[in-house]
Chain A
Amino acid sequence: MTVKAKRQKPKRLPPKTPSSWNPRIVVFACNWCSYAGADTAGVSRIQHQPHFRMIRVMCSGRIQPGFVLRAFEKGADGVLVSGCHFGDCHYIFGNERAVEQFDKTMSIIKLLGIGEGRLRLEWISAAEGARFAEVINEFTDQVRKLGPSELKTNSGQPKADS
Chain B
Amino acid sequence: MPEFTELAKEARAWACYDCGKCTATCPISRIGGEYSPRRHVLSTNLGQHDEVLQDGTLFSCLTCSLCERRCPAEVGYTSLIQRLRELSHHEGVEPECPHGGALQSVMRMMARGGPQQDRMGWLTGDLKTQPKKGEVVYWTGCTMYYDAFFPDFQMTTLEGTRSVVRLMNRLGIVPVVSPDERCCGHDLLWNGDRASFELLARHNVNLVTESDADLLVVSCAECLRTWKVDYEPFFTGRIPRIIHISEFITEHLGDMKFGGDGQRRVTFQDPCRLGRHLGIYDAPRQVLEALPGIELAEMRRSGPSAMCCAGGTWSNCDRYAKQIQTERLREAKGTGAEVLVTSCPKCQIHFRCTMKDPNHGDEIKIEMQDIAELVAERSQATTES
Q: Which residues of A contact B (CB under 8 A)?
A: 64-67, 69-70, 72-73, 100, 103-104, 107-108, 110-115, 149-151, 153-154, 156-162
Instruction: Establish whether residues B195 and A158, one from each chain, have CB atoms under 8 Å apart when the complex forms.
Output: yes
* Complex Cα spacing A113 to B115, Å: 5
Q: With CB as the reference atom, state the residue of chain A lying closest to B99.
A: A66
Contact of B151 among A104, A112, A156 (CB under 8 A): A104
Instruction: Establish whether residues A162 and B99, one from each chain, have CB atoms under 8 Å apart when the complex forms.
Output: no
* Complex Cα spacing A158 to B89, Å: 13
* Complex Cα spacing A67 to B90, Å: 23
Instruction: Establish whether residues B195 and A154, one from each chain, have CB atoms under 8 Å apart when the complex forms.
Output: no
* Complex Cα spacing A149 to B109, Å: 12
Give B141-181 interface residues, CB cut-off 8 Å to A: 144-145, 148-149, 151-152
Instruction: Establish whether residues A156 and B115, one from each chain, have CB atoms under 8 Å apart when the complex forms.
Output: no
Looking at B116-124, B132-140, B285-293, the stretch in contact with chain A turns out to be B116-124
Report chain B residues within 8 Å CB of A70. 100-102, 105
Contact of A108 among B90, B111, B148 (CB under 8 A): B148
Instruction: Establish whether residues B117 and A113, one from each chain, have CB atoms under 8 Å apart when the complex forms.
Output: yes
Q: With CB as the reference atom, state the residue of chain A lying closest to B111.
A: A158
Instruction: Establish whether residues A158 and B199, one from each chain, have CB atoms under 8 Å apart when the complex forms.
Output: yes
Instruction: Establish whether residues B117 and A111, one from each chain, have CB atoms under 8 Å apart when the complex forms.
Output: yes
Instruction: Establish whether residues B195 and A161, one from each chain, have CB atoms under 8 Å apart when the complex forms.
Output: yes
Q: Does B196 contact A (CB under 8 A)?
A: yes
* Complex Cα spacing A112 to B116, Å: 7
Give the secondary structure class of B's interface. helix
Q: List 19 A-B contacts (CB under 8 A).
A: A67-B100, A70-B100, A70-B105, A72-B105, A104-B151, A107-B148, A107-B149, A107-B151, A108-B106, A108-B148, A110-B118, A111-B145, A112-B106, A113-B116, A114-B115, A157-B112, A158-B108, A158-B112, A161-B90
* Complex Cα spacing A150 to B114, Å: 5
* Complex Cα spacing A66 to B108, Å: 12
Report chain B residues within 8 Å CB of A107. 148-149, 151
Q: With CB as the reference atom, state the residue of chain A lying closest to B203.
A: A156
Instruction: Establish whether residues A156 and B90, one from each chain, have CB atoms under 8 Å apart when the complex forms.
Output: no
Nearest CB in chain B: distance from A20 CB, A: 23
Contact of B196 among A64, A103, A158 (CB under 8 A): A158
Report chain B residues within 8 Å CB of A154. 112-114
Instruction: Establish whether residues B109 and A65, one from each chain, have CB atoms under 8 Å apart when the complex forms.
Output: no
Instruction: Establish whether residues A108 and B108, one from each chain, have CB atoms under 8 Å apart when the complex forms.
Output: no
Instruction: Establish whether residues A65 and B195, one from each chain, have CB atoms under 8 Å apart when the complex forms.
Output: no
* Complex Cα spacing A73 to B195, Å: 16
Nearest CB in chain A: distance from B382 CB, A: 34
Nearest CB in chain B: distance from A31 CB, A: 19
Q: Does B337 contact A (CB under 8 A)?
A: no
Q: Does B272 contact A (CB under 8 A)?
A: no
Instruction: Establish whether residues A112 and B195, one from each chain, have CB atoms under 8 Å apart when the complex forms.
Output: no
Nearest CB in chain A: distance from B147 CB, A: 9
Q: With CB as the reference atom, state the residue of chain B lying closest to A64.
A: B100
Report chain B residues within 8 Å CB of A67. 100
Instruction: Establish whether residues B112 and A151, one from each chain, have CB atoms under 8 Å apart when the complex forms.
Output: yes
Instruction: Establish whether residues A69 and B114, one from each chain, have CB atoms under 8 Å apart when the complex forms.
Output: no
Nearest 8 Cβ contacts at the A-B interface: A66-B100, A113-B115, A66-B102, A69-B105, A158-B195, A154-B114, A107-B148, A65-B102
Report chain A residues within 8 Å CB of B101. 66, 69-70
Q: Does B41 contact A (CB under 8 A)?
A: no
* Sample of 12 more A-B contacts, CB < 8 Å, known A107-B148, A151-B115: A69-B101, A70-B101, A107-B151, A110-B118, A112-B117, A112-B118, A113-B116, A150-B114, A153-B114, A156-B113, A158-B199, A159-B195
